[in-house]
C-alpha cells in the first residue's frame, strides 16, 4: 500500500478478507486491530515446518512500507517493543519469527530486501547464523530442516526458496545459487532446526 492509512483502510474492510493483529506506520504509530487470541488473515495460505496453517498459529504484524526503501527508525523501534512484549507474553522463541516471504515464497515478497533482519537478531528478536556450514549439503534439504516448505506447482521450488532466503539473509545477492547460499542455509538448519512438534496440540 502507498500509505499506512491506506493499509489501515484495507485491513479493516471485510470485502478484502485480509487482516492483521497489528499495523505499524513509518512514524511509529501502532494500531492494534485484532485481539492476539483471535485468528487474523495476514498470511493467506502458507506453511512453516509442520505448521500448514500459519494464520491459525501466529500473530501478524504489518509494517507500512512499499518494500523499496529502508524502514524508518521510529517504525523499527515500535516494532521491537511490540515484538518483545508479544514474545514474552506468549513464550515465542526467536526462531519462530518469520517473514511472509518465508511462509509463502511463491506468493509473498514482504517485508522485502530493505528490512533489517540482522538488527532484530542482534536484539534477540529473530535469528542469524553464527558462522557458515561447509556448503556441501543440498540447499533444499537444509532449507526444509530450517523450516521452509517447498511450494507445490508453478515456478521452480529451489528458485523460490532461494529468493525468500536471500531477501532475509543475503539481500544484495542475485543470480544462480552459490556456495555461500548453501553454507548459510546449512548453518541455519544446524543452529535453528525447525520444531517438528510445533503443529501438535
Q: What are the catalytic residues?
A: 62
* Residue corresponding to grid cell 501466529: 58
Return the closest-CA partner of residue 131 out of 168, 75, 184, 88: 184
Q: Which residue has the cell 497489528?
A: 22
DSSP 51: B
Distances in whole angstroms, Cα of residue 37 to Cα of each of 21, 56, 60, 142 = 10, 10, 12, 32
CA distance 96 to 198: 10
- Torsions phi, psi for 129 (to 5 deg): -70, 140
Parallel, antiparallel, or unpaired: how do β-strands 61-63 and 30-32 relate?
A: unpaired
Burial 31-50 (b: 16+ CB within 10 A, else e): bebbeeeeebebbeebbbbe
Please answer whether residues 177 and 162 qualify as being in contact, where contact means their C-beta atoms are separated by less than 8 angstroms: yes
Cβ count near 124 (within 10 Å): 13
Amino acid at each position: 500500500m502507498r500509505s499506512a492509512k491506506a493499509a489501515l483502510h484495507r485491513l479493516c474492510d471485510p470485502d478484502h478478507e485480509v487482516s492483521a493483529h497489528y499495523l505499524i506506520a513509518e512514524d511509529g504509530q501502532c494500531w492494534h486491530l485484532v485481539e492476539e487470541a483471535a485468528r487474523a488473515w495476514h498470511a493467506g495460505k502458507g506453511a512453516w515446518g509442520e505448521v500448514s496453517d500459519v494464520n491459525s498459529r501466529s500473530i501478524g504484524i504489518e509494517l507500512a512500507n512499499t518494500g523499496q526503501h529502508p524502514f524508518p527508525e521510529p517504525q523499527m523501534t515500535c516494532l521491537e517493543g511490540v515484538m518483545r512484549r508479544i514474545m514474552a507474553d506468549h513464550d515465542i522463541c526467536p526462531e519462530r519469527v518469520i517473514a511472509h516471504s518465508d511462509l509463502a515464497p511463491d506468493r509473498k515478497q514482504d517485508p522485502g530486501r530493505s528490512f533489517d533482519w540482522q538488527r532484530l537478531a542482534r536484539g534477540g528478536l529473530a535469528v542469524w547464523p553464527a558462522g557458515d556450514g561447509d556448503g556441501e549439503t543440498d540447499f533444499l534439504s537444509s532449507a526444509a530442516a530450517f523450516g521452509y516448505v517447498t511450494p507445490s506447482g508453478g515456478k521452480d521450488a529451489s528458485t523460490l526458496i532461494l529468493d525468500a532466503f536471500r531477501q532475509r539473509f543475503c539481500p544484495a545477492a542475485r543470480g544462480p545459487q552459490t556456495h555461500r547460499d548453501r553454507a548459510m542455509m546449512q548453518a541455519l538448519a544446524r543452529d535453528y532446526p525447525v520444531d517438528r512438534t510445533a503443529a501438535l496440540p
